[in-house]
Amino acid sequence: MKDFPNFLTPENSKNFKTILYERNIAYLRRDIYEHILKNNKETPFDVDSFNNSKVNDKDIIKQMIDIIAEELALLNWSTLLAYGNSSLYIYPKNEEPPVSCGEELCEL
């Protein structure tokens, strides 16, 4: 960042939570985009790692993942949260999930 944004003022502090949410979901999109480009469908995106480094709130990261899953569905991808919502599998919509899931393992 070359300079601080003009909106970073004490008067605007009531909006900081929303601004941070929007920045974090943008980072999540970027990281998932790069994950899709670099990995195969058998390798899940590490939701816990992202959450621990950026968001630090399981409810908020779940909300963000739900939004991202809807966006990916529009691009013909399916998603599957696994292992206690710590891993996100992303695979083509016309294919089976890369892992077999019991109710305790995955959330569709």
* H or E segment to which residue 105 belongs: none
d(CA 108, CA 101): 9
Q: What angle do CA 49, 50, 53 make, to 5 degrees?
A: 85
Instruction: Give residue limits of the domains in the chain.
Output: 12-107
pLDDT score, position 40 = 80
pLDDT score, position 1 = 83
What sign does the CA torsion over 89, 93, 95, 100 have? positive
The residue-averaged pLDDT of 26-32 equals 98
Average pLDDT, the chain: 92
What does pTM read for this prediction? 0.88
44's tokens: 């899940």
d(CA 101, CA 15): 40
